[in-house]
Structure 1
């Protein structure tokens, strides 16, 4: 009974304030969270999880950063609607976007063994004024999403 009441309550709230896709702004259907299935399928994903050495790792090593492996879920292409994912996670008070993307990516990376030799996930601290202005640290939200899967 309680579960049914919650479902009807959520449906009513969605009627008044529908959840929309962060990328295309279309209304989400049940089962979709921050992105519609169409945008999720068209996400410009990298294949970095499949390779120990990749474009991102090479770029960081060339900067003399002490990196042994690095990964990215998708290519950031300025001017595309997918930029909204990063902007919402960082600036628009939507930490759920960062957590959800991290969970999605962690599932993919776990299947490839990316986390096999990683013991700890530590978020990068954010300057206190930026954290105060944003209300949260996006790298902490990403760490939460990663740790939920790993």
Structure 2
């Protein structure tokens, strides 16, 4: 804990000493936790509707996900990849909330999403959350909530196994890795029945994590489950 606090102090000092500039246009950044300005962020290419529908069919057809939406493509060596990396691993939490607000603005006219009962961030295991200090999916969900006004329930879903990172796993390995990794917290057992939920993650790659969350929610009586992410691979 002391070592983690020291790292945060060093980061804060570096932010104070060095002026942050947008990595795209070079403009001064008022928020040193960002790496691009809002103007450049707004110009990043979005996933079009046809592509979203195609990827939805590839990843979720036949399962419990009724609808899915993502803002950006996730590709290597892009500004989107760098934003998500900085958010997850370099304590740049404001990136998560800003990306969440962009995501929320993109769905505020979507009836299925805005009539959901709650936003559910994909949970981190308590060990990983303690190491990182926060859950990036929760930050994104809070940004979405700010725009569409749906509450975030961060502890309804619990990760009961500290699974390995999915990054280098194939589809089969990813599914096995997250199998039985989640459960619904007991205090929400009655609340969940008949409700509609949006499961929020940073990136959807194969969809395995979202699918496993949806399975658990359905087993506990949820009506509909939607998936929402900043980016999709």
Task: Check whether TM > 0.5.
Answer: yes
Tell me whether 112-121 or 134-143 shows the greater mean CA deviation: 112-121
Match in the other structure for 1:116: 114
Q: Please give the secondary structure, in 2, of the residue aligned with 1:122.
A: strand
Match in the other structure for 1:75: 73
Match in the other structure for 1:56: 55
Q: Please give the secondary structure, in 2, of the residue aligned with 1:132.
A: helix
Q: CA deviation at 1:25?
A: 7.8
Match in the other structure for 1:130: 128
The structure with the greater share of residues assigned to strand is 2
Q: CA deviation at 1:96?
A: 0.8
Match in the other structure for 1:20: 21
Deviations 1:76-114 (A, max 9, x none): 111223311110111111111011001012112103445
Q: 1:87 aligns with which of 81, 85, 88?
A: 85
The structure with the greater share of residues assigned to helix is 1
Deviations 1:14-60 (A, max 9, x none): 99542333x538343569x8332563244121124xx7x71332122
Match in the other structure for 1:36: 37
Unaligned 5+ runs, structure 1: 1-13
Q: 1:149 aligns with which of 147, 151, 155?
A: 147
Q: CA deviation at 1:120?
A: 0.8
TM-score (norm 2): 0.48
C-alpha contact 1:89 1:95 (8 A) present in aligned 2: yes
Q: Please give the secondary structure, in 2, of the residue aligned with 1:59.
A: helix
Higher relative CO (Cα under 8 Å, sequence separation at least 6) belongs to 2
TM-score (norm 1): 0.72
Q: How many residues align?
A: 131
What is the RMSD of the two structures over their aligned residues, measured on CA atoms? 2.8
